[in-house]
Amino acid sequence: MREAIQVLYSVETKSLSKSFGAVNAVSDISFTVKAGEIFGFLGPNGAGKSTTIMILTTLLKPTSGHALVSGYDVMTHPKQVRQSIGYVQQESTVDEYLTGRENLLLQARLNHIPKDQINKKIDDILELIELSDKQNDPVITYSGGMRKRLDIAGGLLHQPKVLFLDEPTVGLDIQTRRKIWEYIKKIHKEFQMTIFLTTHYMEEADQLCDRIGIIDNGKIQVIDTPENMKNAMGNEIISLTFENENLGDFLSQLSQIDLVKKINKDNGKFTLFVSRGTEVIPKIFQISSALEIKITSISLTRPTLDDVFISYTGREIRDDDTGFNRKREHAKMKRLRT
C-alpha cells in the first residue's frame, strides 16, 4: 500500500477546458471538492458533466488547464490518479456471465489489491451490500438493483480515496433508488472517502450531497450547499382560499406580518410570497379567527432544488428521449461515450 498523503482537496481543477473540434464541451472551469465530502455534480445532458468526469478519471486529456485528483495531476501522474480513484459508471459494467464474486475478484486484480487481502475484502464488501448469499450466482440472474450494488461494490473494493459515481440510480425504481442511497451513505460513513456524484435526480442530490455544483454550457454556474441554494432562491409561497365574500381588514392585516413580502389577489385566492413560511401560517390563522374568516385551504410551497437548477440552467433537465435539441445532444453524447 502507498503511504497516505493528506490532501485538502480531493478534486481541484484550474481553468480546465476540453474542446472537440469547434465544440467547447468544458470551458475554463475551476472548482474544488473537499476531502471527505459528497459532492454532487449536476447539469443538463450535454452540459459537460461526462467530459469533466472523463478528464478526472484519466479517460480524456484536457485541452488546457489542470485537474488534480487526490493531489495528483491527471496529465502528468495518471497512474497515481488511477490508484486513488474508484469509478462506477452509469451503465452496468459487470460481466453478466461471471458470478458476483468473480466480478469482484476481477475488480480486485485490476486494482492490484494484494493477494492475501483479496478474499477478506470481497467477503466484507459482499456483506456490506448484502449480496453474500447471491455471490456465486451468475450476474445475469441479478436484478437491476443488485447489479448496481455490485457495480458500486467493485468501485470501492480497493478503498479509493475518491469514488466517482456517475448517475448511480438511473433507471431504478424508487424503492431500489432509496436503498442505493442508504448504501451510499453507509459506505461514505464506513470508508470516509470523497464521493463525486452526478445525477439527474434533484432529490438524490438533496438527500446525499454536502455540496452541489451546477454546470451548464461547459461552465460551472454555482457551487454551494443544497440548503443555501434553496434559501438563496428566496420566497416560499403560501396559497390561501376562503369562504367569506367580505374580507374586511384581512388583506391589510396580512400584509402587516413581517415575513410577508408580497400578496397577490386572484378571485378568491391569495398568494403570499413569504420567508419562513412555517412561522407565517400560525399568524394567518390568528388573524383569520379574529376576523371570523373561514379558511378553506392553505398550502405552503418551498423552493426545491429543481427550482434552483432551472434558475441556473434556464431549462428543465432533459432526458435523452425528450426530443429537446436532440440532434445536438446526440452528436455530443456520441462523441463522448457513443
Binding site for other proteins (CB under 8 A): 20, 54, 57-61, 79, 82-83, 85, 87, 89, 91-93, 95, 97-98, 102, 106-107, 109-112, 138, 154, 335-338
Q: Which residue's entry shows cell 448504501?
A: 183
For residue 196, give the H/E element and its range.
Answer: strand 194-198
> CB 210 → other proteins: shortest distance, Å?
24
Nearest distance from residue 102's CB to other proteins, in Å? 6
Dihedral of alpha carbons 190, 195, 199, 202, sign:
positive
Helix (H, G, I), strand (E, B) or coil at 303: coil
Q: Measured from the CB of residue 89, what is the shortest distance to other proteins in angstroms?
A: 5
Question: How far are the Cα atoms of 32, 93, 290 from residue 199, in angstroms, in the given order?
Answer: 18, 18, 49
One-letter-per-residue 3-state SS of 95-117: CCCCEHHHHHHHHHHHCCCCHHH
- Smallest distance from other proteins to CB 16, Å: 16
Query: 194-198 and 162-166: which strand pairing?
Result: parallel
Nearer to other proteins, 97 or 189 (CB): 97
- Helices 174-191, 115-128: crossing angle, 10 deg rounding: 130
Strand residue runs (E) in the chain: 9-20, 23-34, 38-42, 64-69, 72-73, 85-88, 162-166, 194-198, 211-216, 219-224, 236-242, 260-266, 269-274, 295-301
Do residues 100 and 87 lie in contact, with contact meaning Cβ atoms separated by under 8 Å?
Answer: no
Nearer to other proteins, 110 or 290 (CB): 110
Report whether 263 contacts 271 (CB < 8 A). yes
The single-letter code of the amino acid at 72 is: Y
To the nearest whole angstrom, how small is the minimum distance from the Cβ of residue 135 to other proteins? 15
Give the nearer residue to other proteins in terms of CB position, either 54 or 222: 54
* C-beta closer to other proteins: residue 57 or 253: 57
Single-letter amino acid code for the residue at 76: T
In the complex with other proteins, the residue whose CB is nearer, 85 or 215, is: 85
Question: What DSSP string describes 18-35?
Answer: EEETTEEEEEEEEEEEET
Q: CB nearer to other proteins: give 79 or 327.
A: 79
CB of 29 or CB of 336, closer to other proteins: 336
| Shortest Cβ 107–other proteins spacing (Å) | 8
Nearest distance from residue 82's CB to other proteins, in Å?
5
Under a CB-based contact definition with an 8 Å cutoff, are residues 193 and 159 in contact? yes
Q: How far is the CB of 100 from other proteins (least distance, A)?
A: 13
| Spatial separation of the C-alpha atoms in residues 155 and 173, rounded to whole Å | 22
In terms of CB distance, is 94 or 238 closer to other proteins?
94
CB of 296 to other proteins, least distance (A): 55
Q: Which residues contact 234 (CB under 8 A, 6 or more apart)?
A: 275, 303
Is the CB of 101 or the CB of 230 nearer to other proteins? Answer: 101
